[in-house]
């Protein structure tokens, strides 16, 4: 008998949470999700780099830039929505996040294609480096990337980190567009 009441209590709490979420401003909700998921993605990248020891290639580092833009901008959108900023400003910020994440998804597709050998990558991280003349050999060796862009350091379910970045970036772009195009809920 106690289990039945416990289940009923859980159901009531869940419907209460859902009804509260339905009343939240879609822009604020989208921004919060973007900030949290983006932060989790960057923390994951840092975990692989600093805890597991997988050094990122130059393309991996470039793919992080969109998150460094989107996370603080999403926090600002959430704060702006909470204090009553104009819809146009919030809309532009969410559209900027969507554009950055779509660009990042494209960069992730490019990087994944390099890893799968579908197309060549940048010479500095996926080809044979040209060290030129002996006079500046030491300087060119110092600038050459040791981590290759055309070799996936880690895969899970057939996808590399660049592949997962594509999925996360597309999801965040969709959430940003949803938040930008949604109308305010009736409270």
For 61-80, how does the pLDDT look when each residue is reduced to its tens digit (9 = 90+)?
Answer: 888 899 999 999 999 999 99
Say if 15 falls within a structural domain: no
- 156 — phi, psi (to 5°)? -140, 125
pLDDT greater than 90 at residue 99? yes
pLDDT greater than 50 at residue 185? no
CATH number at 91 reads 1.20.1550.10
Say if 147 falls within a structural domain: yes
Say if 40 falls within a structural domain: yes
SS3 for 162?
Answer: helix
Q: How many whole angstroms separate alpha carbon 53 and alpha carbon 46?
A: 9
Q: How many whole angstroms separate alpha carbon 92 and alpha carbon 25?
A: 16
What average pLDDT score do residues 9-27 get?
59
Range of the domain at 49: 20-121+136-181
* Model pLDDT, residue 186: 39
């Amino acid at each position: 008998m106690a289990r039945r009441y416990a289940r009923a209590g859980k159901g009531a709490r869940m419907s209460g949470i859902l009804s509260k979420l339905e009343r939240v401003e879609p822009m604020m909700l989208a921004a919060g999700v973007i900030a949290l998921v983006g932060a989790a993605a960057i923390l994951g990248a840092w975990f692989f780099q600093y805890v597991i020891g997988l050094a990122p290639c130059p393309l991996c580092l470039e793919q992080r830039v969109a998150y460094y833009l989107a996370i603080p901008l999403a926090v600002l959108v959430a704060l702006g929505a909470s204090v009553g900023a104009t819809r146009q400003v919030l809309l532009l910020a969410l559209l900027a996040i969507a554009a950055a994440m779509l660009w990042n998804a494209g960069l992730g597709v490019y990087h994944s294609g390099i890893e799968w050998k579908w197309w060549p990558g940048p010479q500095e991280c996926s080809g044979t480096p040209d060290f030129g003349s002996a006079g500046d050999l030491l300087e060119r060796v110092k600038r050459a990337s040791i981590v290759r862009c055309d070799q996936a350091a880690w895969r899970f379910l057939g996808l590399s980190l660049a592949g997962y970045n594509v999925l996360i970036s597309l999801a965040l772009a969709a959430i940003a567009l949803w938040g930008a195009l949604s109308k305010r809920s009736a409270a």
